[in-house]
């Protein structure tokens, strides 16, 4: 909708032959209801619309009433910073993390503490690109938002062929150091691909479990099949039935770390794995209501996402439209498209800055910002 508007506007401008390429027209629409930083794409009531024509860098500031400020000494409630360089305009991402910072966070995670990932990116407003019907290419680590529900794309693995892998590590050596035995299958055989682990506080004869037996247990305990092509793992109440130990997202056994998300990966069909967080978009405590969606792309090109029972990927939140969006595979790549949803389909800006294209739209908080 906004896209078309931008184009039409440009057309009318060029028709009058009066176009000034160095100027940028910004239209900001702000939803006056403060509800989970949502913007209502369906309903124009309660929307404050403002227009700015700019010719240099500066800041959009404010909450309900937006202003354009070029003097950066008086910035309060910054919505979005715009930079101009060589006749081009850029949106500056206040949440951009350079590689060094990321490394620190990763290291923290390595050393077993459960880091609340959002703490590190609470620096400024998140800039979300608005996805329309023409869609975007998804990549690993991308963050998308449907209504107020956020997903991080953990892995895209479309090259896995059915019934591949398996049985390659049948050969096993029994270990000389006596009674270590799996509490599930009672076998003491192990090999590097299927070691005996001690992930909880159980001890004695029930101390160990095979990696593969643990995977099977995870599936039985957590797997929730939504449809033929979507499996959800909820980490809620993930504890050992015997010792009642609450599983952490990563655990250490012998000298190796194991990640439960990694262990949940399928190995016999092409899939996309995305992690979801709670409705406010914060990463919740482990075991509370976070989880992963595994989307199966075996013999399907398209999966529908929404609140309706007829969709492949059901997201049960009131801010998600019944038929909100769809994921499509084209040439081994996954694309995300919006389907005229009420609260939009958004894609988080992760790079340091993005060049403004005329017709582009971003959402920041409950403001929709369009450029032409």
User: What is the nearest approach in angstroms of Zn ion to the Cβ of residue 193?
Assistant: 13
CB nearer to Zn ion: pick between 183 and 342? 183
Q: How many Å apart are CA 146 and CA 154, to the nearest integer?
A: 17
Q: How many Å apart are CA 235 and CA 222, to the nearest integer?
A: 7
- Find where tokens 């062929």 sit: 161
Q: Are 302 and 311 in contact (CB under 8 A)?
A: no
Residue 117 has what DSSP assignment? G
CB nearer to Zn ion: pick between 203 and 299? 203
User: What is the nearest approach in angstroms of Zn ion to the Cβ of residue 299?
Assistant: 32
Q: What's the token pair of residue 57?
A: 């860098």
Residue 283 has what DSSP assignment? P
CB nearer to Zn ion: pick between 131 and 181? 181
CA distance readout (Å), 5 to 26, 112, 136, 156, 360: 12, 50, 20, 34, 11
User: What is the nearest approach in angstroms of Zn ion to the Cβ of residue 163?
Assistant: 22
User: What is the nearest approach in angstroms of Zn ion to the Cβ of residue 221?
Assistant: 13
CB nearer to Zn ion: pick between 27 and 202? 202
User: What is the nearest approach in angstroms of Zn ion to the Cβ of residue 206?
Assistant: 7
CB nearer to Zn ion: pick between 184 and 329? 184
Sheet with 367-371, strands from edge to edge, namely: 47-54, 24-31, 367-371, 361-364, 128-131, 345-348, 143-146, 149-157, 271-276, 291-296, 230-234, 223-227
- Applying CB under 5 A, the residues found at the interface with Zn ion are 182, 184-185, 200, 202, 210, 213, 240, 242-243
User: What is the nearest approach in angstroms of Zn ion to the Cβ of residue 201?
Assistant: 6
CB nearer to Zn ion: pick between 92 and 240? 240
CB nearer to Zn ion: pick between 61 and 200? 200
Q: Give the pairing type, strands 302-306 and 24-31.
A: unpaired
Q: Are 29 and 38 in contact (CB under 8 A)?
A: no
CA distance readout (Å), 233 to 146, 212, 226, 294, 308: 19, 17, 10, 8, 19
Q: What dihedral do alpha carbons 114, 285, 39, 322 form, nearest 10°?
A: 120
CB nearer to Zn ion: pick between 11 and 166? 166
Q: How many Å apart are CA 92 and CA 364, to the nearest integer?
A: 12
User: What is the nearest approach in angstroms of Zn ion to the Cβ of residue 247?
Assistant: 9
User: What is the nearest approach in angstroms of Zn ion to the Cβ of residue 112?
Assistant: 18
Q: Give the pairing type, strands 24-31 and 47-54.
A: antiparallel
CB nearer to Zn ion: pick between 81 and 210? 210
User: What is the nearest approach in angstroms of Zn ion to the Cβ of residue 319?
Assistant: 38
């Amino acid at each position: 909708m906004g896209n078309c508007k931008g184009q039409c506007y440009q057309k009318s401008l060029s028709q009058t032959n009066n176009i000034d390429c160095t100027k940028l027209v910004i239209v900001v629409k702000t939803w006056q209801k403060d509800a989970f930083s949502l913007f209502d794409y369906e309903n124009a009531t309660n929307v404050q619309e403002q227009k700015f024509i700019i010719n240099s860098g500066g800041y959009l500031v404010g909450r309900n009433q937006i202003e354009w400020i070029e003097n950066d000494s008086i910035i309060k409630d910054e919505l979005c910073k715009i930079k101009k360089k060589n006749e081009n305009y850029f949106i500056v991402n206040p949440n951009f993390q350079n590689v060094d910072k990321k490394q620190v966070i990763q290291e923290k995670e390595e050393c077993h503490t459960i880091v609340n990932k959002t703490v590190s990116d609470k620096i400024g407003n998140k800039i979300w690109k608005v996805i329309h019907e023409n869609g975007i290419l998804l990549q690993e680590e991308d963050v998308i938002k449907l209504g107020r529900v956020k997903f991080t794309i953990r892995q895209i693995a479309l090259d896995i062929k059915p019934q591949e892998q398996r049985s390659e590590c049948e050969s096993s050596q029994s270990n000389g150091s006596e009674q270590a035995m799996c509490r599930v299958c009672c076998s003491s055989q192990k090999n590097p691909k299927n070691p005996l682990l001690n992930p909880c506080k159980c001890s004695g004869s029930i101390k160990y479990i095979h990696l593969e037996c643990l995977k099977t247990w995870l599936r039985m305990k957590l797997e929730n099949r939504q449809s033929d092509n979507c499996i959800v793992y909820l980490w809620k109440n993930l504890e050992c039935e015997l010792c009642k130990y609450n599983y952490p997202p990563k655990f250490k056994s012998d000298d190796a770390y194991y990640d439960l998300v990694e262990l949940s990966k399928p190995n016999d069909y092409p899939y996309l794995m995305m992690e979801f967080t709670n409705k406010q978009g914060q990463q919740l405590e482990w075991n509370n209501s976070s989880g992963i969606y595994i989307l199966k792309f075996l013999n399907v090109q398209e999966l529908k996402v929404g609140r309706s029972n007829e969709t492949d990927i059901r997201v049960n939140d009131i801010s998600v439209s019944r038929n909100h969006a769809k994921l499509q595979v084209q040439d081994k790549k996954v694309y995300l498209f919006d389907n005229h949803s009420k609260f939009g389909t958004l894609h988080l800006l992760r790079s340091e800055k993005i060049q403004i294209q005329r017709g582009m739209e971003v959402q920041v908080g409950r403001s929709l910002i369009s450029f032409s």
